[in-house]
Amino acid sequence: MALFNRRADFPALAGNQIAFLDSAASAQKPRAVVDAMLTVMEGHYANIHRGLYKFSNETTAAFEAARGKIAKFIGAPVDEVVFTHNSTESINLVAQSWGRANLKPGDEVLLTEMEHHANLVPWHLLRDQIGIVIKYIPVLDGALDLSNIPLSENTKIVSFTHISNALGTINPAKDIIGRVRAYNPDIKILVDGSQSAVHMKIDVRDLGADFFVFTGHKLYGPTGVGVLWGKRDILNAMPPYQGGGDMIETVSLDHVTYKSAPARFEAGTPAIVEVIGLGAAVDYVTSLGWDAIAAHEKALSDTLYKRLSARGDLKIHSPAQNRAGIVSFTCHKADMADLAMILDQCNVAVRVGHHCCQPLMGKLGVTGTVRASLALYSTPDDINALEAGLDKAVKMLS
């Protein structure tokens, strides 16, 4: 098994025995991220882009260097990387800016039944505002049923998650994009990479979508920063999402002209320290290398899946194959909230509930699941602790 142990890199784990199995919700932060954020706050903090003095210049340089790192991380030109506050805001930006400018009543948006609410609700809002129609690729046995993708001449955008946060299912994104392009190359495609940017190498050019979004806090970075990648021509044809400072070229009392992307979409003071922290997170992940991270997580995820499946008292909802380090289950013998409480007493952190995927839970016929999710710092001990905790909980509750 190609395992490594990086727990010592994460201060909250190094000083604690916790089996942290809730990384799909938000990941722990490595020392490198904490240090990078402290360095800017303690060393040369100032607002960016507008100051003509040393602190501001240094902070601006660090902020834009982070943009460069993130662009390289996903294989994009630097001016196609827009900073938002999270994936949710990135998707809302596309729905409200691109959607309002390009969609009319009756136009169709194609989503999937496994989307996080962040890729459902923005489109519902748009439907209520302008009368679009939302269609869904169905889920079958924990994966997308691609046998009959409901595309039509009215489909204008397809927006789907790369990896299911609730089940860990890795969707065949390139295949889906290829089929959509073959049907109609004018259909826009958004990939929600909130989970995938954490578990696999992303090359947005190779993937072939029009938009790719992810969120900093799941990628070992801080909260408050997210990314929207979009193709330059599409971004520059989109109207601003919010108005304010730093996104304009000129403002008069009756007229405004706007900068090109990415500034056009970055109104107001951005999450300066957090962006720099995310840059450090990307450096950290890159320094370990995707091959090593993927091999480690695959080995652990296989073990987790095998061990939980073998128990007999759990129903596993995650697929056996094409799955990231996420295993979702329900227990025949215990309520999930009770399970989580006893696991917490055993110092095991898992997530229970609908995982912001209520339509998917409905499809699975459950109100929620217990979700154990892995990260690069997870170890076999975490899985042992989960198993021991489950043994104890099931004994107490059944």
Ligand X SMILES: Cc1ncc(COP(=O)(O)O)c(C=O)c1O
356 is an active site residue:
yes
List, in sequence order, every beta strand (DSSP E) within the chain: 19-20, 81-84, 108-112, 133-137, 139-140, 143-144, 155-161, 188-192, 211-215, 226-230, 248-251, 256-258, 314-316, 326-331, 348-349, 351-353, 369-373
Cα atoms found within 13 Å of the Cα of residue 385, Cβ hemisphere only: 21
User: For residues 340 and 386, is the Cβ–Cβ distance under 8 A?
Assistant: no
Least Cβ distance, residue 94 to ligand X (angstroms): 13
Least Cβ distance, residue 341 to ligand X (angstroms): 22
Least Cβ distance, residue 217 to ligand X (angstroms): 6
User: For residues 135 and 109, is the Cβ–Cβ distance under 8 A?
Assistant: yes
Active-site residue, selected from the candidate residues 331, 346, 356, 357: 356
Is residue 104 left, alpha or beta, with left meaning phi > 0 and alpha meaning psi from -120 to 50? beta
Report the interface residues with ligand X, using CB under 6 A.
86-88, 116, 118-119, 161, 165, 192, 194-195, 215, 356
Is residue 268 left, alpha or beta, with left meaning phi > 0 and alpha meaning psi from -120 to 50? left
Taking the least distance from each CB to ligand X, the nearer of 165 and 328 is 165
DSSP H or E segment with residue 232: helix 232-237
Taking the least distance from each CB to ligand X, the nearer of 29 and 116 is 116
Per-residue three-class SS string for 233-249: HHHHHCCCCCCCCCCEE
Taking the least distance from each CB to ligand X, the nearer of 118 and 235 is 118
Q: Tokens standing for 394?
A: 């099931």
Taking the least distance from each CB to ligand X, the nearer of 96 and 119 is 119
Q: Report the alpha-carbon distance of residue 195 to residue 185 in Å, rounded.
A: 26
DSSP H or E segment with residue 397: helix 380-397
Least Cβ distance, residue 391 to ligand X (angstroms): 29
Least Cβ distance, residue 384 to ligand X (angstroms): 26
Taking the least distance from each CB to ligand X, the nearer of 118 and 308 is 118
Catalytic center residues:
356
